[in-house]
Chains A and B, each alone.
Chain A
Amino acid sequence: MEPKTVLIVDDEPLSVKILCHSLEDDYKTVLAQSGREALEIISLKAPDIILLDLIMPEMDGYEVYRQIRNDPSLDAIPVIFITMLESIECEAHGLKMGASDFVHKPFVADLVRLRVKNHLAFSQARNLLEQRSKELQALNRELESMLARVKLLEGIITICSYCHKIRTDKDDWKKLEEYISAHSEALFSHDICPECASQQMKIIENMEWKKR
């Protein structure tokens, strides 16, 4: 199985080196040194998870995050913010925006790996749940449609005792086969039953006798 892709967005080289070293045995790591570069990479191929530094020149992590979340196709990608350990203000703001989690500097390699692993697992479970939910909705729609077809032929149907035409909801009379065709999946092919065949044969013979 192809390894999951982690996009690391940070302009500080030592941070990038530590994060890559912590994750490269288990994941494919992709690097961006600025918010703009990150958005370009994401637009080409969405990663499975993003580690995003908050304080960067030109475009900060909050703006990158806003742009990612504005795109419905990227909405489900977990984003973990990178902050300093004591940045309570940044952390609160990030959580209000909907960040998945935080990794703090100084990085502890084991904690970074565990956070990435957990959020990838949550994301996978959520995707699976959404997929199952879509499948169930499709099955439900199919079932409802089948039930609707069954219901069309339920209840009391008025039939003419002589010609066997059926009275419709609009109070007009339709041939039996026409009515059944319109209200079910059934189709008709024409044939003749032995009894009718015998009767018709007698009529024909009678007509020929009269001619002679």
Chain B
Amino acid sequence: MTSTQLFNKSQLIDNLDGDVEFAESLMGDALIEIPQEVVKLQELCKGDDSQIIHLHAHTVKGMAANLCASKLKDICLKIETAAKDNDLKSARTFLPELEQTMLMTIEAIKTP
């Protein structure tokens, strides 16, 4: 896995009109928001409400997409799709990968 798959900073800056300051402000927000949202998704996956898991996985996927964190986006898509199909067993199998990817993404964002 390449570091840009985890987090593509230059793409993020390009998407934001080259505004480095704003990109870094978003990255700061992401360092707080992403771990919180991933923990929330893990908690939701302990329950049986597939619709709420689908919605929350979609939210984290959107965050990851906007941050140009494509690996995290992909794993969220897998959970979202499984939850949408009411297949919570499959959705839960992706949780270890989700946590690992989230930690690696956070590290990539922190890396100068």
Enumerate chain A interface residues (CB-CB to B < 8 A).
Answer: 11-15, 17-18, 21-22, 55-57, 84-85, 105-110
* Bound form: Cα–Cα A44–B68 in Å: 36
Q: Which of A13, A17, A106 contacts B65 (CB 8 A)?
A: A106
Closest 4 pairs (CB-CB, A-B): A105-B65, A108-B15, A106-B65, A55-B58
Q: Which of B19, B52, B63 contacts A14 (CB 8 A)?
A: B63
A residues less than 8 Å from B66 (CB atoms) = 14-15, 18, 105-107
* Bound form: Cα–Cα A107–B52 in Å: 24
Enumerate chain B interface residues (CB-CB to A < 8 A).
Answer: 11-12, 14-17, 19, 22, 26, 29-30, 33, 52, 55, 58-59, 61-63, 65-68
Min CB gap B49→A, angstroms: 11
Contact B65 A18 (CB under 8 A): no
Contact B16 A109 (CB under 8 A): yes
A residues less than 8 Å from B15 (CB atoms) = 106-109
A residues less than 8 Å from B52 (CB atoms) = 57
Contact B55 A17 (CB under 8 A): no
B residues less than 8 Å from A56 (CB atoms) = 55
Contact A17 B62 (CB under 8 A): no
* Bound form: Cα–Cα A14–B33 in Å: 9
| Chain B residue nearest in CB terms to A104 | B65
Q: A17-B29, A57-B52, A105-B65 are in contact. Are A12 and B59 (CB under 8 A)?
A: yes
Contact A21 B22 (CB under 8 A): yes
Q: Which of A13, A17, A57, A110 contacts B17 (CB 8 A)?
A: A110
Q: A109-B17, A110-B17 are in contact. Are A15 and B29 (CB under 8 A)?
A: no
Contact A84 B65 (CB under 8 A): yes
Q: Which of B14, B16, B30, B59 contacts A21 (CB 8 A)?
A: B16
B residues less than 8 Å from A18 (CB atoms) = 16, 26, 66
* Bound form: Cα–Cα A108–B19 in Å: 12
A residues less than 8 Å from B16 (CB atoms) = 18, 21-22, 109
| Chain A residue nearest in CB terms to B52 | A57
B residues less than 8 Å from A14 (CB atoms) = 26, 29-30, 33, 62-63, 66-67
A residues less than 8 Å from B61 (CB atoms) = 84
New A-B contacts (7) at CB < 8 Å, excluding given A13-B33, A14-B63: A11-B59, A14-B26, A14-B33, A14-B67, A17-B29, A108-B14, A108-B15
| Chain B residue nearest in CB terms to A112 | B15
Q: A55-B55, A57-B55, A106-B68 are in contact. Are A12 and B26 (CB under 8 A)?
A: no
* Bound form: Cα–Cα A106–B16 in Å: 10
Q: Which of B16, B19, B62 has the most CB of A within 10 A?
A: B62
B residues less than 8 Å from A85 (CB atoms) = 65
* Bound form: Cα–Cα A18–B65 in Å: 12
* Bound form: Cα–Cα A193–B15 in Å: 90
* Bound form: Cα–Cα A106–B68 in Å: 7
Min CB gap B6→A, angstroms: 15
